[in-house]
Amino acid sequence: MPISKVYGSVHGLKSGVRQRVEALYRRKVSSRQVISPELARDLARLSHESGRQMGLLLARDGTVEMVLVGSARSLYIPDLPKSREGRSRLRGLRLVHTHLNEDPLTQDDLMDLVFLRLDCVAAVRVDRHGGATQLEVAHLMPSNAQAGPGWDILPLMPCYDPPLDFQGLVQSLEEELDRTRFSIPAEKQQDRAILVSVTSADRETARQSMDELMELARASGIVPADVIIQRLRDVNAKTLIGKGKLSEIVLRALQCGVDLLIFDQDLNPSQVKAITDTTELRVIDRTQLILDIFAQRAQSREGKIQVEMAQLKYLLPRLGVKDDALSRLTGGIGTRGPGETTLEINRRRTKDRIAHLERQLDMVRKNRGQRRSRRVRKELPTISIVGYTNAGKSTLLNTLTHSEVFVQDKLFATLDPSSRRLRFPEDREVIVTDTVGFIRDLPKDLMEAFAATLEELDDADLLLHLVDIGNPRFEEQMAAVGRILEQLELDRKPTLLVFNKADLVEPLILEQHLRRHGAIAISALSSSTLGPLLAAMQREVRGILSSPSLPVASGVGPMIHALEEEKQEELEIAPPA
């Protein structure tokens, strides 16, 4: 029968030693033993004669899956096949290898234990005569109940009669892993994830940023299983995070039964690849998470086009590394070179799709411009509600106009803009528009894709900047919205600053904030609190209508007629408030 491959540094082995090494594939140990005394003795003898470490990867049933040959002080482990149960379980393999000069387990051994999720790693200590003296075994800790390195190194045991019941050990470890995983509540279809931040900011700023990432994860239907923050002065350009912290993350992923990491920082393609290769976990960053939320929430054709274009622009530089092994001939006889690779074909198709979507968005932008022109001709002032995501913009629109726009206590619950009619007590009508919420560091691709939607703000006569005053980070959110409005060149438009959820703040503190920022306090859920806001809106609209750039409306009949014309195309008309 053919001999399976021996991995590692086999060059220079004597013929007789190599044959005996290859014969190790025919050996088998009891499922209750880490390694049998006889196999430990033979492995030690081979290691002594060759002057190199010898290792075996053994399956649960005791069969030899891989034979490894290393140097005098280290052992190379090749890429392993995917584990039988995915990331939520141990791999089902144990590493048993020799240590010359009776050396103990090293840090590299323990890192292999963590990153490969081995059942255990064991070192057969070899004395200067080639005898197998003692067996040292380490295994992962299945829970994070006690602060520690995440593994347990068992007391030394004699190789000739190790007392450890390996089968019982593995069974108890996986039972505890199951208990730990099921202690994190999640629906059947929900992903669990570990949230990671690598930052040089102070602890409080990092915590606040992670709180928002946690809200984003929940909005995407992901259950945050744990949060890990590493504060570094100098960020690792390759993996963004140090190897020690990566090992902690891998261990926590195993303990929590997760296979997804979400980074609060934007990752470049090489960083995603490096972290994925090292941890064997799925990796996404903050931008990709926001794109996923937008993809889930987009309902209109226009919204779906914009989200798809943003996703494709994000994906384009991440299509992988060119591989000539994937080359395919695309020409006939006499063509030069290997032709287009699969990667190049995918890139070309992606670019073609982006160009197609951009043409569709240009049509949308043109149609929007025509509808806006009709509204301007009919002398309908437009008021746009802007603000941080989940500030209560849709709730305010519903309360102002007696509408039923979809409302949910989640980030980016509103993605497609909605417009409603509002009639002031002085019998003047305006259009009130709800817009997509902003967020700090809004991804550039999203800003570009939603340009057609955000153009609605260009023609707004008045902006209502709605702020969740009950949020402890409301001033940072105000600043983030201000930066985005500045980028859109909307910072000079007439703006009313409105503090929502005022009922959640102590009256004295609320009064201080109102005076400092010159804002109006409301509770969007209660129409009785909207009087001051409506009065301020009427004053602003009166000033707008008296401006030479916008003639005073001659009557409400033409306005209503204009609204009805646009109903099928864009506006969902609500009854007057």
pLDDT in tens, 338-347: 555 677 788 8
pTM exceeds cut of 0.85: no
- pLDDT given at position 200: 79
> What distance in Å separates the CA atoms of residue 460 and residue 495, rounded to the nearest whole number?
10
pLDDT by residue (tens digit) across 293-312? Answer: 888 877 777 778 888 888 88
Class of domain 360-566: alpha beta
Residue range(s) of every CATH 3.40.50.11060 domain in the chain: 191-293
pLDDT at 409 over 90: no
> What distance in Å separates the CA atoms of residue 215 and residue 411, rounded to the nearest whole number?
7
Structure tokens at 384: 């746009």
Q: Which of 380, 383, 415, 364 is nearest to 560 (CA)?
A: 380
Q: How many CB atoms lie within 10 A of CB 2?
A: 5
**By the 8 A CB rule, do 256 and 181 touch?**
yes
When pLDDT is averaged across residues 97-125 and rounded to a whole number, the result is 94
pLDDT at 352 over 60: yes
| pLDDT band (50, 70, 90) for residue 82 | low
Residues 6+ away with beta carbon under 8 Å from 392: 466, 468, 500, 501, 524
**By the 8 A CB rule, do 324 and 338 touch?**
yes
**For 235-244, 323-332, 333-342, 398-407, which range has the lowest pLDDT when averaged over its residues?**
323-332
| pLDDT band (50, 70, 90) for residue 168 | very high
H-helix segments, 378-459: 393-401, 444-449, 451-454
Q: Which of 200, 202, 226, 203 is nearest to 213 (CA)?
A: 226
Residues 6+ away with beta carbon under 8 Å from 167: 31, 32, 60
The per-type count for the chain, helices as H runs and strands as E runs, is 17, 18
Residue range(s) of every CATH 3.40.50.300 domain in the chain: 360-566
How would DSSP label each residue in 326-349? GB---S-TT--SS--BHHHHHHHH
When pLDDT is averaged across residues 148-167 and rounded to a whole number, the result is 91
When pLDDT is averaged across residues 13-34 and rounded to a whole number, the result is 92
Mean pLDDT in the chain? 81
How would DSSP label each residue in 451-491? HHHHGGGGG-SEEEEEEETTSTTHHHHHHHHHHHHHHTT-T
When pLDDT is averaged across residues 546-567 and rounded to a whole number, the result is 40
- pLDDT given at position 344: 77
| pLDDT band (50, 70, 90) for residue 98 | very high
pLDDT at 277 over 90: no
Q: Which CATH number fits domain 191-293: 1.10.20.10, 3.40.50.11060, 1.10.238.10, 3.40.630.30?
A: 3.40.50.11060
